[in-house]
A and B are shown apart, each in its own frame.
Chain A
Amino acid sequence: MTQPRQRVLVLYLADSALDSKVVAWSRYDGTGHDEAMAGDQDSPPYATGLAALRDGWRLFQASTLAQHVSGDELRTGYLKYEFWFEQWPAQ
């Protein structure tokens, strides 16, 4: 019997609420059906993180809210609101 393969969806949201809008996204498909690569979509697969939940994706990690480092509060860097989802489709 074939081992199940994981599909991963990473959504970057506009704030820390799961129902805020998607501003960036990535897909990694262990089944090999979706050959995703950088720059391959101009529109996100879901409008919000909640929409992904409602479509059957399971949330397994969310970024934490970290206190800003003193003296560095105005600097921007990596996207802040990262949510990892998974599916284990039947083979």
Chain B
Amino acid sequence: MTKDTADSPTLLNSRQMASFAARGFLMLPGIVPGDLNDAFLADVGAADISNSDTPLSVYGRLLSDSTVPIVPAGQSLSSAYPPDSAIAKILQLPTVSGLIRSLVGSEPVFDHHFLHITFPPSYYERLADVPRSQHLHQDSTIDTRRAFDVQLMYYPHEVTREMGGTRYVPGSHLRVVSEAAIGRYQNVLGQQQVICPAGSILAVHHGIWHGGGANHSSDLRFMFKIRLQPGERQRRLWDDSDLTEDDFAQRAIFWTDIQARQDTIAAILMRPEPWFEADTGRLEFINRIALWRYLLGDDSFDADYWLTRLEREFSP
């Protein structure tokens, strides 16, 4: 994806939206121009952090001195940031504003933001400690909504493997769990770690299982997260003009056509993750279909007959 500076939102297409419904994330690598990345880091006071700091002292100073505004939860995103701030300009980039509009509408509600700083080993040495990764967790608390919030994770500088970028489990977002209760799971087959160029944005469904990695580099790692709630019913907010009859048709199941298109909505929704259990992997498919029905506003949609089969019931 190219960097952009124009004004009109670039909405997601239906393939991107279905992938988000199935996997719970979309990565937009390097979409924020370098001057805005530099301006953001200057706004938050990144250059003022020195090796004589401790993680606690850094946060204390940033919370009192940084230009990141204090924004009450529940207000409109459009009024959350000063128009001339770097973060406001980033949110107005066509790709970013189109991403937001496609997922949570044109007037999303600001939930919270936070500047995550992951410190390299030198900051822990005087504490006789070492960097440790964050336990796997789901943000907030038990959330049973079909509507979903989006968390934008913005990486203003390059994130290398050694820097321990955000770890996340694709396809975990529809599991209803209680925040850190999943901390017991150290590694999950298919887990991903963010490694990205400067100016990348990872958009995740609020339910994605994730955690910060340990920073083994010699540099600080920054990630700015903004949580947004939908300002309207999430129904076809993306550019759905690419939907065709193939995207609504049932496919043959089990005895299948190996030449069948792999880019239909059904094909995208039915792609398993490596960690899926044999039986609950099927429930994941069913829950993806239910979410896609909600997004389409069409309760007749199905993929591979999963819900139609269960709904074939007759009155006693």
| A→B interface (CB under 8 Å) | 10, 12-15, 20, 22-27, 36-42, 44, 74-81
Contact = CB atoms under 8 A, between A and B. Distances in A.
B134 A76 contact: no
A14 B186 contact: no
Interface of B: 132-136, 164, 167, 174-177, 181-189, 191, 193, 211, 213-214, 274-280, 283-284, 286-287
A15 B176 contact: no
Contact of A38 (B167, B189, B276, B284): B167
Given A24-B185, A39-B193, A76-B287, A81 B133 contact: no
Contacts of B280: 76, 80
**Majority SS of interface residues in chain A?**
loop
Given A14-B277, A23-B277, A78 B189 contact: no
B278 A40 contact: no
A25 B191 CA distance: 12
A23 B284 contact: no
Contact of A14 (B167, B278, B283): B278
A78 B188 CA distance: 12
Contacts of B136: 38-39
B279 A15 contact: yes
Contacts, number: 90
A36 B175 CA distance: 25
Contacts of B283: 74-76
Contacts of B132: 37
Contacts of A36: 186
Nearest to B276: A23
A78 B214 contact: no
B134 A38 contact: yes
A81 B134 CA distance: 24
B133 to A, nearest CB: 5
A78 B181 contact: yes
A78 B169 CA distance: 13
Contact of B185 (A76, A79, A80): A79
Contacts of B176: 75-77
A38 B135 contact: yes
Contact of A77 (B175, B191, B276, B278): B175
A27 B280 CA distance: 24
A38 B133 contact: yes
Contacts of A12: 185
A24 B181 contact: no
Contact of A39 (B174, B191, B275, B286): B191
Contacts of B276: 14, 23
Contacts of B184: 10, 26
